Amino acid sequence: MTDRTRLALLLAPALLVMGGLFLTGLGFTLLRSLHYAPALGQTRLDLSAYGEILTSPGFLKSLALSLWIAGASTLIAAVLAVAAALLLRQTFAGRAMIGFLVQLNLTVPHIVGAIGLLYLVSQSGALARLAYATGRITAPQDFPALTHDPAAIGIILLYVWKEMPFITLILLANLQSIGTDHEATARSLGATRWQAFRFVLLPLMLPGLAAASALVFAFAFGAYEVPLVLGAHAPKALPVLAWQTYTDTDLATRPEAMAMAVIIALFGFGLLLAYARVLRVWGSDAR
């Protein structure tokens, strides 16, 4: 058997399965968003669903909200993760314990974290009760609305809580392969600790950080279960709006739901390409 045949046989099942499930799923979504439904006798492609949603303030608000959520979460998580990675890079008392907690965090599903956070920071949650006990508030409404709020602060908090450890671990692995020689060299050339970090270490960490951030952004943008638990009624995060539109009893809104899904997919693709580009362009150099 030639090398090529062997290669094809190795890859075939994965390609077939992914093609069959993923591509078909995407394809169906795309086609339906264009009003293509041969079963219903509609074979003309039209963009009216896109027109509908792109002119609907509800959709635009949801899109803006989701972008806000993803952007803020990614940025905060990234910055905190850099700090955490630098901290955990060194040895100190309790480091092993914290390392364990970081890894533990990764095994907790998002929805559990969301529920826990809900019980923690909602207006009748644990922190609110603490505020009451210390006399800072007198009623639940006095506690700032961090959940089900229009600024989606609770959602952002949850994403930061979950994604910061994720990025941290990736950065730690990167730091391990980067090693300490570069900084040592910079220091011996007269750089202060901050300068060594800013001009030598940080640039080396950037590709890994960017790649991880792309993944985080994609997730925070398109995940459903977190805004389900922590999100406000209006505006809804985009995935929640999309699901609601899909399950609406008025079947005519289906193409709009599909269109929303396609928009989410497009963002996802953009981030995937960014991720791939970052890793490919810098992949070998950063070591």
Partner 1 sequence: MRGSWRTLAGLGLASWLILPMVPLVIWSFAHGWRFPDLLPQTWSIKAWTYALSPASGVLNSFGLTTLIAAATTLLAALIGVPAGRALGLHQFRGKTLVTLFLLAPAVLPGMAVVFGLHGLFLRLGLTGSVPGVVLAHLIPVLPYMTLIMAAVFSRFDPDFEAQARTLGATPFQTFRCVTLPAILPGLLTGALFAFLVSWSQYLLTLAIGGGRVQTLPLLMFGFVSAGRNDVTSAIALLYILPGLLILAVTIRQVTGRNIALTEGLRP
Q: Which of residues 180-239 bind partner 1 (CB under 8 A)?
A: 214-216, 218-225, 228-229, 239
**Nearest CA to 206 among 156, 279, 111?**
279
Residue 125 touches partner 1, criterion: CB under 8 A:
yes
Distance from C-alpha of 134 to C-alpha of 201, rounded to nearest angstrom: 44
CB burial class (10 A; 0-12, 13-18, 19+) of residue 193?
A: exposed
Q: Among all chains, which residue has been given the structure tokens 């279960």?
A: 225
Q: Among all chains, which residue has been given the structure tokens 């009748």?
A: 124
Distance from C-alpha of 123 to C-alpha of 148, rounded to nearest angstrom: 10
Residue 9 touches partner 1, criterion: CB under 8 A:
yes
Residue 252 touches partner 1, criterion: CB under 8 A:
no
Residue 111 touches partner 1, criterion: CB under 8 A:
yes
Position among 30, 153, 206, 286 found at the interface with partner 1 (CB under 8 A): 30
Residue 45 touches partner 1, criterion: CB under 8 A:
no
Instruction: Please report how close the Cβ of residue 55 comes to partner 1 at its closest, in angstroms.
Output: 21
Per-position x/- string for 149-168, each x denoting binding to partner 1 as judged by CB under 8 A, each - no binding: ---------x--xxx-xx--
Distance from C-alpha of 59 to C-alpha of 260, rounded to nearest angstrom: 8
Residue 71 touches partner 1, criterion: CB under 8 A:
no
Tell me the CA end-to-end span of the chain in Å, nearest whole number. Answer: 37
Binding positions for partner 1, 46-65, rule CB under 8 A: none
Instruction: Please report how close the Cβ of residue 61 comes to partner 1 at its closest, in angstroms.
Output: 18
Residue 141 touches partner 1, criterion: CB under 8 A:
no
Q: Which stretch binds partner 1 (CB under 8 A): 9-17, 56-64, 180-188, 198-206?
A: 9-17
Instruction: Please report how close the Cβ of residue 179 comes to partner 1 at its closest, in angstroms.
Output: 12
Tokens encoding 143: 């506690």
Residue 82 touches partner 1, criterion: CB under 8 A:
no
Instruction: Please report how close the Cβ of residue 211 comes to partner 1 at its closest, in angstroms.
Output: 9
Tokens encoding 37: 């439904």
Tokens encoding 41: 């006798």
Residue 280 touches partner 1, criterion: CB under 8 A:
yes
CA 156 from centroid of its chain's CA atoms: 10
Binding-site size, partner 1 (CB under 8 A): 104
Residue 109 touches partner 1, criterion: CB under 8 A:
yes
The dihedral sign for the CA sequence 139, 144, 150, 156: negative
Position among 11, 45, 54, 184 found at the interface with partner 1 (CB under 8 A): 11
Residue 146 touches partner 1, criterion: CB under 8 A:
no
Distance from C-alpha of 144 to C-alpha of 170, rounded to nearest angstrom: 34
